[in-house]
Amino acid sequence: MALLFLPHTLDASVSKLPDVGPAFEKRLGKLGIATIRDLLLTLPFGWETYGGPSAIASLTPGVQATVVGRIVKIFIKTTTRKKMRLTEAMIEDDSGERLRVAWFNNPYVVKNLNQGDRVAIAGMVKAGYGGVPEMQSPHYERLDGDPDAQPSRVGGLMPKYHLVNGLTNRKVAQWVESALPLAGQVEDVLPDEVRARHKLMDVGDAIRLGHKPETDEDFRGAKKRMAFAELFELQAAFAMMRAQMAAEPATPIPYQQAVIDAFKVGLGFELTRAQKKATWDAFQDMARPVPMNRLLNGDVGSGKTAVAAACVAMAHASGLQSVVMAPTEILARQHLRKFRGYLEESFPGLTVELLVSSQSAPERRRVRMAAASGHCALLVGTHALIEDDVELANLGLAVVDEQHRFGTRQRELLRAKGSGRPHFLAMTATPIPRTLALALYGEMTTSVIDEMPPGRTPVQTEVVAPDDRQHAYSLVRAEVAAGHQAFVICPLIDDSEAVVARSATAEFERLKKDIFPDLRLDLIHGRLKDKEQVMQRFVGGEIQVLVATAVVEVGVDVPNATVMMIEGADRFGLAQLHQFRGRVGRGTAPSRCLVLTDDPSEKSIGRLELLTRISDGFKLAQEDMNIRGMGELMGPRQHGMSDTAMEALLQPELLSEVRQEAERILESDPGFAHHALLKSTVARRLEMTSIS
């Protein structure tokens, strides 16, 4: 039964709902659900279909069904073989037929149900002993009062919500049931004309039918409507950002052929077709008084840094400074070496400096003075670049590497280091399909580098079965004996009972003690304080085998590393596995990627074997999207998008329609002055982005 709420309770905490104490409030918070509005807007990701109540005599093994009957006996017992406690019950329907039911490790059932209770049971039917059908761990609902009462929470279509430990679908569905009377109070962000053009239901109906549909068609319609609204909010926010940026002038950087000629000579290799196109796109943007705002989306090793270096050279020729911000010190130092190699010899007077927190105070002071006085043409660094005491005399270009590692607020602080609005170039080594790039970075124009420079050593990839681990160890040992180095990637930092996976810490100890006692091993993970020092020692060759978590996914350049061994590979997406693979094959020696799985199923092996056939990161990302779904691929909470919206991105035409609608509304109503709710929603989204 629903609670009586005050009029403003949509934005009240979920703790105001029945039976949501502090523990459940915290668990819901992990799912991004803090308010009653959040709960209503978080639709199920799927449904279990059990149908209406069926007679026990009509049940078919292997089919999900719903049964209504009376409990004739219920008791707890311990199994003889595995000593497992289970609650067993016998259900009898009106015809006298019986169904055996068992719940494993769930002592609460016997506290909630008693002999003589009328109940609804929904689950998978199994053939049982003596011709009595069975269900194991089914959903149940006690039917009190009216002997003709029908189940309201069990059977029919039952929702599947994203959960964390300690939450159940039944619990979430109960809370949603309590909150549903408020669905009509949720304001509709979609303008009436947009809803009419696309034949979309209003938001209250979408919430009700999304959580409690009567048909699959109801659910599909509700999902489409909610996805459209969420993508519309995002695209309206992006349209507003683009309009605001266009209103702030930047110093034009005119194209000079002599600059690119000198750059090519100093480069020492020929740019690929994709690199040339991306460079030309950037040069055209920089020549305008509107600030460039471009995303350079390229595969591992595709040569994004060379494109950025060409832009720095062009900015320097116009008397403007540049900054390059990287997420880690080791990546910043790597950029320092590359930019100096690409630029300093070809352009006398173009000095490249480094600013990171580990430098001594006198060195940081010297670099800050060089930047503030204009004597430093390019300043490379980490978050140290956006500290208050860092100033640049004439900033014309800001470059951010690994775009997704920085929030908008950090990028804005970087842009603010000059007196005017600098041109902005973001780079990412995670290949992002075009549709997803438009959804996640819709305020930017995108350049794609989708081909590799000649001479990159192809990485031979092999899927290793669980019982063939010694083969992988032998390959690692052989490569180290030949003077090379190896990575071993693990999916967790610490052992977890909830997830059966090899942890980095436990695996490091085991490898060091039992497998490679004669080799030099070390460990790196996100919680380690001296990550940079460990990586420096690995780059310097002091460490032969580095055991690591996903912290080494991007940016690490160790040409002498020739083996990448990935444990628990079934727990990573294809795009992420491809990123790991990109850490080897960066030198001249042949390299191997050994993909080990704890799941020997045909489906798991089949997905991983795509890595052995496809070396193109964009194609792998597309395959991952098709197999795992957009939300699981990118992690929807990470990008502030719901599952429903992420799934909708698998329909590129929908995103195109949404984008056009957002631009049409903004064009007819600049600043959304006549769309008050949309204006406040967009402002909230921009604020959320700015503090990310």
599 shares a domain with 465: yes
CA distances from 594 to 338, 466, 519, 657, 661 (A): 29, 12, 19, 43, 47
Give this prediction's pTM: 0.75
Q: Is residue 237 part of a domain?
A: no
Residue 245 in any domain: the answer is no
- Residues 648-676 have pLDDT tens digits of 776 778 888 999 999 999 999 998 999 98
599 token code pair = 């799941």
Structural contact between residues 426 and 294, judged by C-beta atoms closer than 8 angstroms: yes
Task: Output the six-digit token pair for 208.
Answer: 């009700």
Q: Domain count of the chain? A: 4
- 94 and 131 fall within a common domain: yes
Does 553 reside within a domain? yes
- What is residue 89's predicted lDDT score, i.e. its pLDDT? 94
For residue 623, which phi and psi values (nearest 5 degrees)? -60, -40
| 236 belongs to a structural domain | no
Please report, for the domain that includes residue 131, its CATH number.
2.40.50.140
41: CATH? 1.10.150
Structure tokens, 658 = 């949404």
Are 561 and 421 in the same domain?
Answer: no
Q: What percent of the chain has pLDDT over 90?
A: 49
Higher pLDDT, 129 or 560: 560
- For residue 246, being part of any structural domain is answered with no
Residues 348 and 275 placed together within one structural domain of the fold: yes
Same domain, 21 and 150: no
CA atoms of 599 and 277, how far apart (whole Å): 42
Reply yes or no on whether the pLDDT at 185 is more than 80: yes
d(CA 203, CA 188): 6
Does residue 108 fall inside a structural domain? yes
pLDDT computed for residue 216 by the predictor? 83
In a domain, 641, yes or no: no
pLDDT at 498: 38
**pLDDT(692) > 90:** no
Residue 640's pLDDT is: 56
CA 350 distance to own-chain centroid: 38
Using the predicted structure, report yes or no on whether residue 410 has a pLDDT greater than 60.
Answer: yes
Give the CATH number of the domain where residue 374 resides: 3.40.50.300
pLDDT band at 2 (very low <50, low <70, confident <90, very high): very low
Burial of 637 (0-12, 13-18, 19+ CB in 10 A): middle
Alpha helices in 446-553 (DSSP H): 469-481, 504-510, 531-539
**Which pLDDT score, from 0 to 100, does residue 96 have?**
93
Whether residue 279 lies inside any domain: the answer is yes
Looking at the structure, tell me whether residues 466 and 594 fall in a common domain: yes
Residue 637 is predicted with a pLDDT of 38
Q: How confident is the model at residue 1 (pLDDT cuts 50, 70, 90)?
A: very low
Q: Helices 676-690 & 216-246, crossing angle to 10 degrees?
A: 70
Residue written as tokens 């029919």?
156
Block residue for tokens 């990546």? 331
> Distance between CA atoms of 432 and 356, rounded to whole angstroms?
29
The secondary structure of 27-66, three-state, reads HHHHCCCCEHHHHHHCCCCEEEEEECECCHHHCCCCCEEE
Contacts of 308 (CB under 8 A, 6+ apart): 296, 324, 399, 425, 427
Q: What does the block give as tokens for 616?
A: 């193109």
pLDDT of residue 69: 94
- Does the pLDDT at position 232 exceed 90? yes
Range among 316-325, 444-453, 555-564 rated most confident: 316-325
Same domain for 279 and 318? yes
520 shares its domain with 403: no
Confidence of residue 6 (pLDDT cuts 50, 70, 90): very low
409 & 483 share domain: no
State the average pLDDT over residues 255-266. Answer: 94
Q: Measure the CA–CA gap between 261 and 505, rounded to whole angstroms.
A: 51
pLDDT at 553: 62
Given a cut of 60, whether residue 513 has pLDDT beyond it is yes
Element (H, E) at 71: strand 64-78
Q: What backbone torsions phi and psi does residue 538 show, to the nearest 5 degrees? A: -70, -45
Q: Are residues 561 and 604 in the same domain?
A: yes
Q: What is the 3-state secondary structure (H, E, C) of 404-462?
A: HHCCHHHHHHHHCCCCCCCEEEEEECCCCCHHHHHHHCCCCEEEEECCCCCCCCCEEEE
Give which of 427, 428, 340, 328 is closest to 379, Cα–Cα: 340
The answer on 264 and 154 residing in a single domain is no
Q: What pLDDT does residue 689 have?
A: 53
pLDDT at residue number 5: 47
Q: List, for residues 334-383, the tens digit of each pLDDT value.
A: 899 999 999 999 998 899 999 999 899 999 999 999 999 999 999 999 98
Q: Strand order of the sheet with strand 395-401?
A: 352-355, 378-381, 321-325, 395-401, 423-428, 293-298, 445-449
**Higher-confidence residue: 486 or 692?**
486
Is pLDDT above 80 for 436? Answer: no
Q: The tokens 């009328």 sit on which residue?
A: 118
Query: Nearest 5°: CA angle at 357, between 349 and 558?
Result: 75
pLDDT surpasses 60 at 396: yes
Task: Compute how many other C-beta atoms are within 10 angstroms of the C-beta atom of residue 67.
Answer: 29
Decide if 611 contacts 463 (C-beta within 8 A). Answer: yes
**Is residue 127 scored above 60 in pLDDT?**
yes
Is the distance from CB of 524 to CB of 583 less than 8 angstroms? no
Domain closes at, from 568, 593, 614: 614
Q: Kindly report, residue by residue over 588-640, the tens digit of the pLDDT.
A: 889 999 999 887 778 888 889 999 999 888 888 878 777 755 444 443 334 45
* Mean pLDDT of the 267-274 span: 90
Q: Are residues 76 and 176 in the same domain?
A: no
Would you say the C-alpha torsion 630, 633, 638, 643 has a positive or negative sign? positive
Q: Return the HEC string of 610-675.
A: HHHHCCCHHHHHHHHHHHHCHHHHHCHHHHCCCHHHHHHCCCHHHHHHHHHHHHHHHHHCHHHCCC
Phi-psi region of 172 (alpha: psi -120 to 50; beta: other; left: phi over 0): alpha
- CA-based nearest residue to 528, from 553, 504, 563: 504
Nearest to 636 by CA among 406, 427, 440: 440
Instruction: Compute the mean pLDDT over every residue in the chain, rounded to the nearest whole number.
Output: 86
Evaluate the CA torsion angle 655, 656, 657, 658 in order and state its sign.
positive
Q: By CB neighbour count within 10 A (0-12 exposed, 13-18 middle, 19+ buried), where does 227 fall?
A: buried
Residue-range definition of the domain harbouring residue 103 = 47-160
Chain centroid to Cα 17, Å, comes to 30
pLDDT, tens digit (0-9, with 9 covering 90-100), for 170-179: 889 989 999 9
**pLDDT at residue number 51:** 86
